[in-house]
Structure 1
Amino acid sequence: MASEDSGDGLREETMSANRRHTWEGCSVLLDINDGDRLVFAMLTHGATLKIGKKKFPLAPLIGCPFGSLFKVETSSNGSHLARFFPSSAPEAATEQVKDHCHASVEFKDNRSLVDNNTAQGLSSEDIDSMRREGATGEEIVEALITNSSTFDKKTTFSQEKYKVKKQKKYAPKVLLRRPFSRSICEAYFKKSPTRIGSLRVDALSLLLSMANVGAYSDVLVLDTVGGLLTGAVAERLGGTGYVCCTYFGSSNLPIDIVRMFNFSSDVNSRIVQASFTDLIGEDNDEPSSQPDNPKAHAANTNTLLSADSIIPKSLVPVLHDESLEEVIVSNAKFSYSKEIFSELNPMQTSPHAHSRSLNEDGRNAQPCSISEKLIPPGRKASTELIKTWKRRGFTSLIVAAPEMEVDSLVQKLLSLICYSGPFAVYHHCLQPLAICMHNLQTSKMALSLQISEPWLREYQVLPSRTHPHMQTSGFGGYILSGIRVCGGSGS
């Protein structure tokens, strides 16, 4: 038994010391063809990734550093993903400058080009034959360019677009990215913004800054955006302090996105959950225990019922968006998509439930993944922690609950943070925050109140082609921030 514990500790220590490389069981973000598709995956020997009409195993990605590039190669064993190293930056820059200089002196245009499907002399049968012979994607692209009768008549920019289009189809590239706050937020905002409440990456950064989230902070979070806010706060704390996810009613809110951050046990142990009733209740030996006084029991029941009235019915079940099925990598041997986007309450799931499921299927239950031994995030807060927070208060408060009534929520939660503690509230509409700001001013519960609108514009920076992206997001919601003070009805 002691040897198993020491082995688990050694594996976890090795994983923490080697965070620059992937390991079996870790979550990754796969960027296919420079952002055309963003796929979350859990790296195992049985996991596969679908590109086009084919599935490729993800085993070659295990042990590679984050930021590695992979391309599809064909061998005697079939098609697979192989790591490759792109050309050096100086050579690419020199080639780009030459293309730009050539483009500045040419006088060609595309007026004489007619799309009649006769310009390409290479048929689909010829391409399939090249693939069976083991031709690489680059060779197929070069053959398409050579057999195109209109390629030389195109402008330089049109030729480059043609190459990129064919490369994405016949020579796709996969970038192995580390899942952290920015990459996860950008991926969800692009694929399924409703899953995270349309929370943009700049709004997420402002929430953390305005709430003064730093080391050794105890942050109270109301997170209805799937756990993205909770994971971002825990990432900034870096294993110091605590993140307490509160909820109203009897069931906690889902924080499944936290599992994608690849947190260690030290960080996961500092992500806890506690109901609002437990945080404001009297000091008992156990939170939410049945009191001996029937009047106190009636008071707790009334508080719970009033809290339930705040929660819309759409948030009672765990959020599961069908549009995210494209983001989940299918696995023929293990149901890892259920592990990433689990509809089970993480508080009710045993840390060894996955091992038991493997035994029931008749498979080997040996610890092949380090993540199976980690402490799951979102455990119930201990009695000592709750007593400490009742005595000292939280250092800051962050609310991201676009589907809830913000005004009543903030006034209830402000009483849980310490005096001079900052808070930040996100909402995609202005009017609820304006009403909340007015009520806080009249009740004298907070100072330095302001409503900010984050603004972000992404640019394409290329020679003679620098301009804002045409499909950029023009709206990022609103953020109400302030500082809690002593005074008013909230005291």
Structure 2
Amino acid sequence: MASEDSGDGLREETMSANRRHTWEGCSVLLDINDGDRLVFAMLTHGATLKIGKKKFPLAPLIGCPFGSLFKVETSSNGSHLARFFPSSAPEAATEQVKDHCHASVEFKDNRSLVDNNTAQGLSSEDIDAMRREGATGEEIVEALITNSSTFDKKTTFSQEKYKVKKQKKYAPKVLLRRPFSRSICEAYFKKSPTRIGSLRVDALSLLLSMANVGAYSDVLVLDTVGGLLTGAVAERLGGTGYVCCTYFGSSNLPIDIVRMFNFSSDVNSRIVQASFTDLIGEDNDEPSSQPDNPKPHAANTNTLLSAESIIPKSLVPVLHDESLEEVNVSNAKFGYSKEIFSELNSVQTSPHVHSRSFNEDGRNAQPCSISEKLIPPGRKASTELIKTWKRRGFTSLIVAAPEMEVDSLVQKLLPLISYSGPFAVYHHCLQPLAICMHNLQTSKMAVSLQISEPWLREYQVLPSRTHPHMQTSGFGGYILSGIKVCGGSGS
């Protein structure tokens, strides 16, 4: 028995260590050219990534640690992505630029430069010939600098900008990033903020903090931002407690973004869904057996109808965003909507990606369906769980439904959490939260009510040129927070 226990411990340690590396079938975030493009992809041997006018297979990324850097290389088999390790040359160049700024007595400017398309001696035919001969991207960039008649006349900062511009075009780099709450939120907020309700990363972190989301918490969530909030709560719980996604009406809300977090079966099993009708039913009532068509109880029919009236038609039955492209992956067997891997840029994936299963470390397992190995998130909450929540109440409540009527939502959902339970409500407009706050004060349902406005400013930190980003987000929405108390009309 001791040897078996030690073997299990070693196996778990190996699996946790391998989680630092990618495996076949995992989701990744590809950062192309320092944030110029952000692409969500599923790593398979048949997946490809389009950079410029060419497509590159993603097979070399399988088994590499997160944070690895790749560049385009040309060989006899064609162009492909190859991993490389950046040297300390950029740091040396930065120090050289810094020393030049302080020590040089000769000042330059770009007033004498004229953009007449005659400064570059290399033509496009010459560059194509270099590519056919197998020249690397760095060699092409050096040739462009050498044949530029105005490069030496530019300022030091202009020279650096020129190098970066040419490197992005002729020597693109791909950074392999791990998808987690911050990276996913930043990627969607940059490319498609409406998909996540314009929920910024600082507002997301503030929601989790004000709702006191921690280990062994049972969090009630109303998520109309594609599952970003649900995934962030589950990530904070770390496989302890439960996150319950509730919904009004007969159709549950999509939480497709949760699939990008690469959660294990243990974490996915703690992400459940339950309709509002089941949560407010009597203790001896059974929850609806079919997850997509719950039957309202007779005693709560009026409550359900009034709840359905606050749902906009744009959210029934599922959220859909046609501005995002989709990956060609069949997800029918998992029960997810077609926008399960809606992307920020086009990535092609093999349609047979789910035909084989893999172990936790990414190695091939016995041929069977992945759905038999990995528990999908968002299953129907069991009868025992619902009865427990009816008896004890949820520990906290988080609402991120900018397109719904916030006041009605909070009035209906707040009685479901326990006394002294914190709650947080996100909205991109101030007036709905102000009305909700006033009604909570008059009904004495909550105390410590406050409306917060998150504020975030990003800075460029470089030698002699540190300043805020020229293009930044000046608005991150509003958050209403408070603590439920006993004695109000909702008790």
Instruction: Tell me the alpha carbon deviations over residues 442-482 of structure 1, each in whole angstroms, 9 at most, x when there is no partner.
Output: 00000000000000000001111011011100000000000
Contact 1:31 1:177 in 2 (8 A): yes
1:94 Cα deviation after fit = 5.9
The alpha-carbon distance between structure 1 residues 226 and 337, as it changes in their structure 2 partners (threshold 3 A), is closer
Please tell me whether the aligned partners of residues 24 and 368 of structure 1 are also in contact (alpha carbons under 8 angstroms): no
- 8 Å contact 2:357–2:366 — kept in the other structure? no
Does 310-319 or 95-104 show the bigger shift? 95-104
Post-superposition shift, 1:300? 3.2
Mean CA deviation greater in 342-351 or 424-433? 342-351
- The farther-off stretch of 103-112 and 419-428 is 103-112
Secondary structure at the counterpart of residue 336 of structure 1: coil
Moved more, 128-137 or 325-334: 325-334
1:180–1:328 CA distance, 2 compared to 1 (3 A): farther
Deviations 1:354-397 (CA, angstroms, capped at 9, x unpaired) = 54999999999964997872110000000000000000000000
1:304 to partner: Cα distance: 2.4
1:79-101 CA deviation, whole Å, 9 max, x = no partner?
00000000138953664455643
How far does residue 105 in structure 1 lie from its aligned partner after superposition? Answer: 3.0
1:16 corresponds to 2:39: no
Q: CA deviation at 1:8?
A: 14
- Cα distance between partner residues in 2 of 1:36 and 1:453: 29
Query: Contact 2:47 / 2:348 at 8 angstroms: preserved in 1?
Result: no
- Evaluate the alpha carbon distance shift between residue 102 and residue 276 of structure 1 in structure 2; reply closer, same or farther with a 3 A threshold: same
Distance across 1 between alignment mates of 2:427 and 2:206: 13
Given the superposition, is the C-alpha separation of residues 79 and 143 from structure 1 closer, same or farther in structure 2, using an over 3 Å criterion?
A: same
Aligned pair in 2 of structure 1 residues 441, 15: CA closer, same or farther (>3 Å)? same
Checking the alignment, whether the CA contact within 8 Å between 1:346 and 1:376 is kept in structure 2 is no
Report the Cα offset of residue 9 of structure 1. 13
Classify 1:3/1:413 alpha carbon distance in 2 versus 1 (closer, same or farther; 3 Å). Answer: farther
36-45 or 341-350: bigger deviation: 341-350
Paired with 1:134 and 1:347, the residues of 2 have a C-alpha distance of 26
Deviations 1:187-233 (A, max 9, x none): 00000000000000000000000000000000000000000000000
Under a length normalisation based on structure 1, what TM-score does the superposition of the two structures give?
0.88
For residues 396 and 66 of structure 1, the distance between their equivalents in structure 2, rounded to whole angstroms, comes to: 33
Q: Deviations over 1:112-161 (max 9, x none)?
A: 11111111111111111111111000000000011111111111111111
**Which sits farther off after the overlay, 360-369 or 246-255?**
360-369
Distance 1:345 1:143, change over 3 A: closer
TM-score (norm 2): 0.88
**Identical positions, percent:** 97
Unaligned runs of 5+ in 1: none
Aligned to 1:130: 130
**1:31-85 per-position Cα deviation (integer Å, ceiling 9, x unaligned):** 0000000000000000000000000000000000000000000000000000000
Distance change in 2, residues 1:250/1:202 (3 Å): same
CA RMSD of aligned residues (A): 5.6
C-alpha contact 1:351 1:376 (8 A) present in aligned 2 = no
CA 1:358–1:418: 2 relative to 1, 3 Å? closer
TM superposition shift of 1:284: 3.2
> Which residue number in structure 2 is paired with residue 303 of structure 1?
303
For each residue in 1:406-463, what CA deviation from the matched residue of structure 2 results, as whole angstroms up to 9, or x when unmatched?
A: 0010011010000000000000000000000000000000000000000000000111
Distance 1:413 1:83, change over 3 A: same
Distance in 1 between the 2:404 and 2:50 partners?
38
Q: CA deviation at 1:294?
A: 17
Kindly indicate whether the alpha-carbon contact (under 8 Å) linking 1:25 and 1:370 is maintained by their aligned counterparts in 2: no
- Counterpart residue number, 1:402: 402
Deviation at 1:320, TM superposition (A): 2.7
Q: Is the 8 A contact 1:212 1:422 kept in 2?
A: yes
Q: 2:276, 2:94 → 1: CA distance?
A: 61
